[in-house]
Structure 1
């Protein structure tokens, strides 16, 4: 999770300078301190007339112009690599958000295309339920696939991402998914196959040209996923990284001698050496941190928050409130000129005005907000995925499922009739007699 300075106040932003989790300062300090110590000793020995050191420095001649040209070349290389790493990080963030948007668009389209279906209500309910679960699994598996492949397949922490009612899928499919090498592609194929099968069953009632939109969005999300794989799997070319590291080491060795020859006191030599080395190695460390935005490091993308957002949006598709179509209240203004006049005079009501005038509280949007990271988490700069204790055990989850299934309200009718009754009462669809 990236530390969001834009969400913090000024005092918090300044205090963030002293937080070490996810910072490159500790590593750069470890590299710069020995170099600064050597520069201090060289200048101190020269000023106090150490014989061996004075003889060595008297034989050492180095033109400052050569060192400045070398430092400039090294700075250009390090800055260029840091820029490339930032572009990779930003592209990874953009592609994952676009992937999530494409797949939610595809899920929304698939469920919307069943609105005018004349199929059995139970089949419609089961179709919508399995589509939402498969899209949740597809998104979670894609984020797990993007993780660094240093760990074994079963040890990837991204497999701890929550999916919508994973136990609702049959055991045979879950076993096949666990054994599959290409898990994302398998779930992707399942979704397409289920949609094709639903056409023959009459569940998907939209014309074929309209159904193409869902397939297009589904495929577009898959393209974004493979673009993310390119960033996760293809590292920066090794010769470029090797050359940059070699120049950094040479700069680390030369800087103490140059600073001791060009300064008057040991303290100034130490400070200038530390600052010069610290800046270059900090930029180098930043490039390493940003080259791959997928993983469990402090500066990687918060995939837990991404999966949480995706699950919330998918569950919204099953909510009868989202299925209820808007209609005019009977107190609407029909005169276009009058509406245009009110807009020009800036007297149109805002959402806060509308919600304050409602007789009842708004059930969606105003009261139910996506969970934001706390201020403490923002200060820490990491969500500590590997030490997360928020994972619910399968036993506790199954107990809650059994309690929900055994509740008196649900025992009155089968589950599909219970949910379809809510949907029908909301006016989403009309099942023919």
Structure 2
């Protein structure tokens, strides 16, 4: 998760230049050297380093006098920027929807676990102990899932806040802390707790309703798996988009290649 909130004493425009979640620092590293190269070429062209006219122009730099390659390249860059922004916008909302989807499923499953304890024949102390434990496990499940999706190293090391995880025994916490599959471990703990509570009579709901709650819990895990692909897998352009991009690239570079070829022919006196 990326924190886009403005901190105290910082102006709003500071968010555009922060290192986390902003494209400007990385774009600057790419664009700034190219801008310096463009300025250098322009200065050399103004000082007639490459020649005064088309006849005595240095081979390879003849295209500086022709505007067709530049207009074609500008159109190509515009197309790529619009395409990539559209793909990034779609990916962002897909990831946002999927993340809220598994959190919503787990929240619904936790609410069902609490509701199923009403009308049970167990003592108040047993019900209270079950509720305290299951809510903490759901909190740890959500925190571990968001921690795994977070790009921040501080979240990976220190984790996220939970609802008083100290209420869980130290052995279980040590096992969770040393596990490489924390989300799956919390998921199995919750499943086992629900099944054991139903068998002991602590949960008074019928079996089909409990199965529905476990299905909701499983649905959240499935959506969590979908959310992980947005974190670990780079989105690739579809085949149709690649075809359109290739056609557009070929059409716009055609003018540039013709100019370069004409310069080569003039230099080598080829008709």
TM-score (norm. length: structure 1): 0.47
Separation in structure 1 between the aligned mates of residue 106 and residue 4 of structure 2, nearest angstrom: 27
User: For 1:53, what is the secondary structure of its paired residue?
Assistant: coil
Matched, 1:20 2:17: yes
Q: Which residue of 1 aligns with 2:62?
A: 61
Matched, 1:224 2:223: yes
Structure 1 residue runs of 4 or more that deviate by more than 6 Å after TM superposition: none
Separation in structure 2 between the aligned mates of residue 17 and residue 56 of structure 1, nearest angstrom: 47
Aligned residues of 1:42 and 1:53 also touching (Cα < 8 A): no
User: For 1:54, what is the secondary structure of its paired residue?
Assistant: coil
Change (3 A) 1:114 1:55: same
Query: Which of 1 and 2 has higher RCO (CA within 8 Å, sep 6+)?
Result: 1
Separation in structure 2 between the aligned mates of residue 179 and residue 28 of structure 1, nearest angstrom: 38
Change (3 A) 1:65 1:17: farther
Separation in structure 2 between the aligned mates of residue 145 and residue 187 of structure 1, nearest angstrom: 13
Could you give the per-residue CA deviations for residues 187-211 of structure 1, whole angstroms, max 9, x where no partner exists? 1111111111111211110111222
Aligned residues of 1:144 and 1:158 also touching (Cα < 8 A): no
Q: Which residue of 2 aligns with 1:322?
A: none
Aligned residues of 2:117 and 2:127 also touching (Cα < 8 A): yes
Pairing of 1:384-399 with structure 2 (within 5 A):
none
Q: Which residue of 2 aligns with 1:343?
A: none
Change (3 A) 1:180 1:2: closer
Shift of 1:56: 9.2
Aligned residues of 2:105 and 2:217 also touching (Cα < 8 A): yes
Pairing of 1:91-170 with structure 2 (within 5 A):
91-148=94-151, 156-157=155-156, 159-170=158-169
Q: Which residue of 1 aligns with 2:185?
A: 186
Shift of 1:18: 8.1
Change (3 A) 1:110 1:82: same
Aligned residues of 1:141 and 1:159 also touching (Cα < 8 A): no
Separation in structure 2 between the aligned mates of residue 56 and residue 27 of structure 1, nearest angstrom: 39
Change (3 A) 1:173 1:90: same
Shift of 1:141: 0.8
Change (3 A) 1:33 1:54: farther
TM-score (norm. length: structure 2): 0.72
Aligned residues of 1:106 and 1:215 also touching (Cα < 8 A): yes
Separation in structure 1 between the aligned mates of residue 85 and residue 157 of structure 2, nearest angstrom: 27
Could you give the per-residue CA deviations for residues 330-354 of structure 1, whole angstroms, max 9, x where no partner exists? xxxxxxxxxxxxxxxxxxxxxxxxx
Aligned residues of 2:137 and 2:186 also touching (Cα < 8 A): yes
Separation in structure 2 between the aligned mates of residue 55 and residue 78 of structure 1, nearest angstrom: 35
User: For 2:130, what is the secondary structure of its paired residue?
Assistant: helix
Q: Which residue of 2 aligns with 1:212?
A: 211
Change (3 A) 1:19 1:113: same
Could you give the per-residue CA deviations for residues 366-385 of structure 1, whole angstroms, max 9, x where no partner exists? xxxxxxxxxxxxxxxxxxxx
Pairing of 1:316-335 with structure 2 (within 5 A):
none
Separation in structure 2 between the aligned mates of residue 104 and residue 84 of structure 1, nearest angstrom: 30
Separation in structure 2 between the aligned mates of residue 27 and residue 175 of structure 1, nearest angstrom: 39
Aligned residues of 1:45 and 1:54 also touching (Cα < 8 A): no
Matched, 1:177 2:176: yes
Number of equivalent positions: 230
Aligned residues of 1:144 and 1:159 also touching (Cα < 8 A): no
Change (3 A) 1:46 1:196: closer
Aligned residues of 1:113 and 1:206 also touching (Cα < 8 A): yes
Q: Which residue of 1 aligns with 2:261?
A: none
Shift of 1:30: 4.7
User: For 2:62, what is the secondary structure of its paired residue?
Assistant: coil
User: For 1:235, what is the secondary structure of its paired residue?
Assistant: coil
